[in-house]
Structure 1
Amino acid sequence: MTTTPIRITATAPVPNGELHVGHLAGPYVAADVLRRFLRSDGRPVRLSSGIDHHHTAVRLCALTQGRKAEEVADGYGESITVDLQRAGVEFDTLLQPAREPGYRSHVQDLLTRLHADGTVVARSRLLPYCRPCERWLHGVLVTGGCPYCGATSDGNVCRSCARPNDCGDLLRPLCVLCGTPAELRRHRRLYLPLEAHREALLDHWAATPMAPRLSLLCEQMARDGLAEVAVSHPADWGVEVTVPGFEEQRVDSRFEAAAAHLLTEEGQREGALQFFGFDHAHLRLALLPALLLHLGRPVPVGHQVNEPYRYLGRRMSTGQRHAVWALDALTEAGSDALRRHVLSQRPVGRPTDFTLEELDRSRQVLEEEWNPWLVRLFATLREDCHGAVPDAAPGGAGWTDLHDRLTVTAAELRTAYRPESFDPRRAVALLDEVVRLATEFQLVNAPERDRAGDRSRHHAALTAQLAVARALAAWSWPVMPEGATRLARALGDPPGAPITPTPLTPPRPGTRPTPPTGPLFAF
């Protein structure tokens, strides 16, 4: 087995507000599921992300709330970190720029080095300027029509079609703060011309598996000419540029995100599998690979992309404060129910819609189907076997067929969990099927409890169910680690057993399961 860790990256959240369930439905819970599966399989894996500390949305939030940008970034960065932990998302590396020694100098040195070797060049281009606010406009400080698809777009990149823009080529640009039509003024900034990396990028795209929407985007970018991406802006928030002549500017957050990737992946020999929303596709498919290829570093080996998660008909947005906040959902439903729900609705290939009623139904599935089967199993074991696992081979009416079906289910779960065919929606459906089959088996064999004298068949049905419970603890751990951990420990097992048929065996005879006093899954 290889000892080289499999690298997984997830887009860095922007600390301009709290974490919302759209974030969880996008990169974060899904990336954590894959990390847990690989870890349970005994494969070395590392999941990394960071906090997008210097995004223009942080500056916009500070301006609208009358606060300092540092205060906004630090406060929301901390709450995002805590909420990810509450949701069971575990990072091996979570880069926090404000706390990382040498971070600023790393970003500055990279930009200076790329300018010195001609990869980054100076260009004089039109840039929107707001006269009433006396401010240059870029990123989320400016809005207008996308020059490619016409949809309403932020500066730098369009959320709808993921194509980059240079802010100055937006249609009818407006200042987001005051709504005034922007003036276009010429300004000299630093750019990274991607066309110089065309052949290397085309080879990379051809060799990397990707969803049709991503491959189509790559074709469109190649057809229309690869963009020159601004990597500095006149601003007062961000990492200071140290290239001579541009000291009054700040590093663009997209370039900074690529620099942060280089920092977290330093010394690695294999590329990362990237989890990101479609609106981040240009950074992940073009800007980052171009830098990695130029520097001789490993390029991404695959992409897991999600579409928007909508609420009340509109995509969730931190900046517009239109969202269901993760903390509220976690408090109401718990991490098991919320993770199960956002994975079952994961917006892949199409946007999906969140409702509180459907989240409640997901919680009810755990409370009314998963937990009752387990509660009845442990209660029967306590009442009929003094709480100890009986010395009986698994059996009962329908056990052979159930065992065969669950063996197949283990293989199907592996297919749903593995990177090449990752589909957590399918994994949730398979886990629900395991519980449904176990419940039917329990009900069919319940009359054995009343058979006079001979307890062997009753005990065989109990050990069969205990075998299914052990398997469920292992197989559900990537999706619902909180409840799966409680179930594994109740059965005397460590959490995170392999997703194989191996756990489909009962605990040793005489083992005394110790179920918690409360629910196993959800609460």
Structure 2
Amino acid sequence: MNTPVWITATPPATHGELHIGHLAGPYVAADVLTRFLRADGEAVRFTTGTADHAGSVEVRALRHHRKPEEVAEGYRAAMVADWQRAGVEFDHIVGPRKDRGYGRWVRDLFSRLYARGVIAPRTRLLPYCEPCERWLHGAHATGTCPHCGAVSDAGMCHECARPNDGGDLLAPRCAICDTPAVAKRCRRLYIPLEPFRDQLSSYWNMVELPPRLAALCESLVEDGLPDIAVGHPASWGLTVPVEGFPEHRIDACFETAAMHLFGYDVTGPLPRRALHFSGFGHSFCHAVLLPVLLLAQDVKLPQEFDVNESYVVEEGVGEGHVWALDLLTEYGSDSLRRHVLQTRPHGRRTVFQRDRLVAARQELDENWNGWLGRLFAAVREECDGRAPQALPGGTGWHVLERRLRRGIEDLREAYGPDAFDPRRAVAILDEMVRSVADFGYVNAHERCRPTTECGHHRALAAQLAVASALAAWARPVMPEGADRLAAALQAEPGRPVDWSSLLPPAAGTRLAPPSGPVFGF
């Protein structure tokens, strides 16, 4: 990888469809940052993958009497389609069962780490289901987290993000038959983290971790860094390439962390910045295991983390009503993207409330589309549908210009990686639209003045300049509507989010507004 900026988002497990929590978490936010940086001229690589070999995939297959590969491939295809519908554009989505050479690459990495002593065998207790005759690892076992007391799978607690070794899980039960598990000794392969104590501590001090993630990392060091199992006796997943473990598969957490490095030449030039977007429950793989995989290969990569909390469904709303596909079909990508950015669970858990999603669509319909509809209608009636032969102006134009200049500075800060705040970006864009809509209302009365020179044309040119700018400025948040607006104004899509985009269409340019709403539908 030789791009200055590398952005990743957590690879989701392919045991179900994407829901609104996925979009409100890492994916739309990471796409916003990617689009902003690219429009600014930065070379960015935006990647993710799908965790096809997660234990939850096999559990779903067993429950529905299907093959795990069928479950993984079906939901992967659905996820990729939903990302596309939501306007989340990855450069590459690693497909563990599709990308040529992927399995060999993961096993080669595993073998190299074993040869260097980074991976070592240990004998520990692991839950076992006697009726199913199956070792219980990952999603195969449910119980109570020994660290925080939350309901947890074996291996990793998605509430406190701390690992457990399966045998540490309290009151484990089989996820398939619900039988209480028995603890049996099992020889597996581990990565002992304690030898990386100094390197990890130095690394975590070097990067600016979000406070909750910093607290997790510091508590891991204080309590003694654990040994992390990277293989299990199982039938689903990539085979462990180490003699003596013929029935073992590589752990999904190890694979998910390693997946980010697939196609990345660790011996080549490092990216200037690496930014990882993930939910807190998955942050261990990104903030602990991924750095260990790099440090074990003598690579110290400057990395940053954007960690979101959980986005839960309000009581009384069924899960089937919050699938990404259903909401995208009903509300469109513009409404859904701006809604999940406004309610993004950054620093705190948030609850999905449909009335707030409805309000997001109303904001677009009443203010954004209302103003643009009036503007396009005025240009059609007064200028035969062409950009007027006038410079931007009108009553209050200089005041509006000053506000927009201040606004674009705040917007760039909200979009930028150093103070990334997409919720703030949405608020700034809304304020810009309300301000220019007020400007349009005030200057519409110019048409009633009995003068030979129509001053209203200057106000129309000013509004067209703002509309052209919004096609660029709003694109990171709402790319679908922004591109429709750019096409209507005959403007180039993907222009920088800066003052240079505040230019009206050339005089005489025939506008081509869409037959329906510009933003949303």
TM-score bracket for the superposition, by shorter chain length: over 0.9
Aligned to 1:284: 286
How many angstroms apart in 1 are the aligned matches of 2:420 and 2:49?
Answer: 23
Partner of 2:270: 269
C-alpha separation in 2, matches of 1:379 and 1:322: 41
- The CA distance in 1 between the partners of 2:327 and 2:11, in whole Å, is 21
How far apart, in 2, do the equivalents of 1:128 and 1:465 lie?
66
* Aligned counterparts of 1:109 and 1:300: Cα–Cα separation in 2: 25
> How far has the Cα of 1:356 moved from its partner?
2.0
Contact 2:113 2:296 in 1 (8 A): no
| Equivalent residues of 2:7, 2:34 under 8 A apart | yes
Q: Residue 381 of structure 2 aligns with which residue?
A: 383
Alignment of 1:207-356 (within 5 A): 207-266=206-265, 267-270=268-271, 272-313=274-315, 324-356=322-354
Give the residue type in structure 2 aligned to 1:92: D
Question: Matched residues in 2 for 1:410 and 1:137: separation?
Answer: 54
Query: TM-score scaled to structure 1, two decimals?
Result: 0.97
Q: CA deviation at 1:465?
A: 0.5
SS, match of residue 429 in structure 1 = helix
What residue identity is the alignment partner of 2:182? E
Determine helix, strand or coil for the equivalent of 2:351: strand
Indicate the residue corresponding to 1:75 in structure 2: 74
Distance 1:474 1:155 in 2: 46
Q: What is the CA deviation profile of residues 466-490 of structure 1, one whole-angstrom value per residue up to 9, with x for unaligned ones?
A: 1110111110000000000010111
Q: Deviations over 1:340-393 (max 9, x none)?
A: 100111100001111222211111111111101001101100100111112212
Q: Structure 1 residue 414 and structure 2 residue 416: aligned?
A: no
C-alpha distance in 1 between matches for 2:450 and 2:209: 62
Q: Which stretches in structure 2 are left out of the alignment for 5+ residues?
A: none
2:95 equivalent in structure 1: 96
Q: Does 500-509 or 42-51 show the bigger shift?
A: 500-509
Q: CA deviation at 1:30?
A: 0.5
Give the drift of 1:323: 6.4
Query: Cα distance, 1:455 vs. partner?
Result: 3.6
Paired residues of 1:309 and 1:315 also in contact (CA < 8 A) = no
Q: Distance in 2 between matches of 1:226 and 1:285?
A: 13
Calculate percent identity across the aligned residue pairs. 54
Q: Which moved more, 1:152-161 or 1:328-337?
A: 152-161
* Structure 1 residue 300, shift from structure 2 partner: 4.8
Q: Deviations over 1:175-201 (max 9, x none)?
A: 111221110000000000011111110
Tell me, in whole angstroms, the C-alpha distance in 1 between the residues paired with 2:364 and 2:427. 13
How large is the RMSD of aligned CA atoms in angstroms? Answer: 1.5
Equivalent residues of 1:381, 1:389 under 8 A apart = yes
Counterparts in 2 of 1:125 and 1:302: CA distance versus 1, 3 Å: same
| 1:297 partner amino acid | V
Would you say 1:434 and 2:432 are equivalent positions? yes
Q: Hey, what does 1:372 align to over in structure 2?
A: 370
Distance 1:92 1:268 in 2: 19
Indicate the SS of the match to 1:184: strand
The aligned length equals 517
Alignment deviations for residues 96-123 of structure 1 (CA, whole Å, 9 cap, x no partner)? 0111111111111111111111110000
Deviation at 1:257, TM superposition (A): 1.3
- TM-score, normalisation: structure 2: 0.97
User: Is the CA contact (8 Å cut-off) linking 2:3 and 2:45 kept in structure 1?
Assistant: no
Q: How far, CA to CA, are the matches of 1:8 and 1:491 in structure 2?
A: 32
After superposition, what is the alpha-carbon deviation per residue over 1:14-68, rounded to whole angstroms, capped at 9, x for unaligned? 1101111110000111111011000100111010000111000100110111100
1:268 CA drift (Å): 5.0
CA deviation string 1:471-512 (max 9, x = no partner): 111100000000000101111111111111111221221111
How far apart are residue 149 of structure 1 and its match?
A: 1.2
Equivalent of 2:516 in 493, 515, 518: 518
8 A contact 1:9–1:48 mirrored in 2: yes
SS in 2 for 1:98: coil
1:180–1:322 distance in 2 versus 1, CA, 3 Å? farther
CA deviation vs aligned residue, 1:241-296 (integer Å, no higher than 9, x gap): 12000121000011111221221433451252100000011111111101101102
Distance 2:237 2:300 in 1: 27
Structure 1 unaligned residues grouped into runs of 5+: none
